[in-house]
Amino acid sequence: MEDSESQILDIVELLLTAHIYNGNDQLDEDDLPPPIRKNYWNSKERKVDRPIIVSEKAVDRVFGIPHGWNLIKTLPFVSFDEFGARINLTVLDLAAKWFANQDSLSRIKRNPALAFYYSRHDSIDVDYERARQVNWPKEMDREWIHSLIDEIAGEGEEAEDMLKLVTISAPEDVRESLNKLVLTQEQIDEVEKIVKAIQYRDYLKKIELFEIGKLLFVGPPGTGKTSVARALSKELGLPFLEVRLSMITSQYLGETTKNIGKVFALAKRLNPCILFIDEFDYVAKTRLADEHGAIKRAVNMLLKSIDDISLVDDGVLLIGATNHPKLLDSAAWRRFDKIVNFPLPDAVMRKEIFEKILARITGTFDTQKLADMTDQCTGSDLRLILREAVLQALFEERTDLSQHDLEEAVSNFSKRFELKMSEYENI
């Protein structure tokens, strides 16, 4: 398709979407494709106001098309309002028929507002529910997250303190994605089950199955715990709240208990979302230094908060992560309905990881050999090896990479690795 043809379709799609959204109160923000929704987002009210008005400026902001009217002015169903440079749809039926006769089916299937219209008015075979499923929900948008954060921050000091304790990301800003990670079969299955649980949340509520949605990721540093949690946020379209227990354990231990309460309250406000608690063992680790029982109170608060939150009721998926499972007592273990193991990758996984991280790099590589050379290495180690090899090549003014570069990097890395291990032994 020609560039200008697809730009014409962009503009007509916007005009139709606006018209249909404006005229059907039962449609909501999730019926709008993200680029359109983001442009018309009212961050104060956290919604898209009706009517959506299509101006040349809006067309430019949504699609980066500066002089939209020029492109579509010969179409028989549009008019231009010089004042405000507004583009109007004059005859909906005609516009809809014209649009359906273009190469537009894939657009209609992805645009719930259009699917809503065509499934009622035309013989086109589209499913409105299906279109809603494939369209990104508003919770994916950074605009949604930011306006929600602004609203909470506006409520006063207490609320602001609450926001300082966590890092919040919108799913669309999450860089990790599941297809870039190499997972064990157990991890794949667990991810799949959580996806289903969220999809069937209403059903789970009906049958009163609440023991779901609290996962504990256990494994050595650099095995992908944080990455999988983040990737889930993207996969599920849920905002990601990250908190480190060391961060909320303030010097004034009395505050810790309060802070824990604040974090969980925030997660409930932001729902649906993922609450990721890293360094889950931190509280247990500091327990030895506990003179006044303050840590014990904090632990109890943490456990109680975990009990009180639920994926089915509150829409909060809780993920804890720890490197030190031995430090957790049974009371903590019991709170999680699923323990997911993050083992050191075996040779098969290491080969796959190498394949993924080398995918965009020019050169031919024997990934099997590299995998065999990197016993005991984590995914994170393999990335560091790649980093070394790439930097070394750049140092020699090369943007391609050879097997030799990588093997060198592996052997340098092994030396460092041994150094690290011997340091541990001396402690």
Ligand X SMILES: Nc1ncnc2c1ncn2[C@@H]1O[C@H](COP(=O)(O)OP(=O)(O)OP(=O)(O)O)[C@@H](O)[C@H]1O
Residues contributing to the site for Mg ion (CB under 5 A)? 225-226
Q: Of these partners, ligand X, Mg ion, none, which one is at the site of residue 221 (CB under 5 to 8 Å by kind)?
A: ligand X
For the chain, the 3-state helix, strand and coil shares in percent, each to the nearest 5, are: 60, 10, 30
C-alpha 206 chain-centroid distance = 28
112 binds ligand X (CB under 6 A): no
The continuous run of DSSP H or E covering 319 comes out as strand 316-322
Residue appearing with tokens 């379209």: 237
For ligand X, the closer of residues 182 and 212 by Cβ is 182
CB burial class (10 A; 0-12, 13-18, 19+) of residue 94?
middle
* Per CB under 6 A, 323 contacts ligand X: yes
Contact letters (x/-) for ligand X, 182-201, by CB under 6 A? x-------------------
Count other Cβ atoms within 10 Å, centred on residue 355: 15
Contact letters (x/-) for ligand X, 336-355, by CB under 6 A? ------x--x-------x--
For position 305 contacting ligand X by CB under 6 A, the verdict is no
DSSP code at position 196: H
Q: Which of 221, 246, 387, 400 binds ligand X (CB under 6 A)?
A: 221
Residue 226 Cβ vs Mg ion, minimum distance, rounded to whole Å: 3
Contacts 24+ apart (CB under 8 A), 100-107: 100/124, 102/9, 103/1, 103/9, 104/9, 104/13, 107/9, 107/13
The DSSP call for residue 94 is H
Shortest Cβ 384–ligand X spacing (Å):
9
H-run or E-run covering 299: helix 294-308
- CB nearer to ligand X: pick between 137 and 222: 222
CB of 229 to Mg ion, least distance (A): 8
Helix (H) or strand (E) holding 221: none
Exposure class string for 241-270: b at 16+ Cβ within 10 A, else e: bbbbbebbbeeebebbbbbbbbbbebbbeb
34 binding ligand X? (CB under 6 A): no
User: How many Å apart are CA 90 and CA 79, to the nearest integer?
Assistant: 7
Nearer residue to ligand X within complex by CB, 264 or 342:
342
Q: Is 135 in the site for ligand X (CB under 6 A)?
A: no
Residue 213 CB, nearest approach to ligand X (Å)? 20
Smallest gap from Cβ 321 to ligand X, in A, equals 6
The interface region with ligand X, picked from 101-109, 214-222, 298-306, 397-405 by CB under 6 A, is 214-222
Residues 17, 21, 26, 28, CA torsion sign = positive
Interacting span for ligand X (CB under 6 A) from 205-213, 218-226, 309-317, 402-410: 218-226
Least separation in angstroms between residue 224's CB and ligand X is 3
> Quick one: 15 or 385, whose CB is closer to ligand X?
385
Tokens read off for 332: 């903590």
68 binds, options Mg ion, ligand X, none, Cβ within 5 to 8 A by partner type: none
Q: Which residue is nearest to ligand X (CB)?
A: 379
Q: Which of 68, 224, 237, 272 binds ligand X (CB under 6 A)?
A: 224
Q: How far is the CB of 276 from Mg ion (least distance, A)?
A: 9
DSSP lists the bridge partners of residue 48 as 41
**CB neighbour list of residue 115: distance below 8 Å, 6 or more residues apart:** 108, 109, 126, 127, 128, 130, 131, 132
The residue with its CB nearest to Mg ion is 226
Task: Return phi, psi of residue 343, to 5°.
Answer: -80, 170
**Residue 236: CB minimum distance to ligand X, A:** 17
- Is 137 a binder of ligand X (CB under 6 A)? no
141 CA to centre of own chain: 10
Q: Show the site string, 149-188: x = touches ligand X by CB under 6 A, - = not.
A: --------------------------------xx------
CB closer to ligand X, 226 vs 367: 226
Residues lying near ligand X in the complex (CB under 6 A) are found at: 181-182, 219, 221-227, 323, 342, 345, 353, 378-380, 383
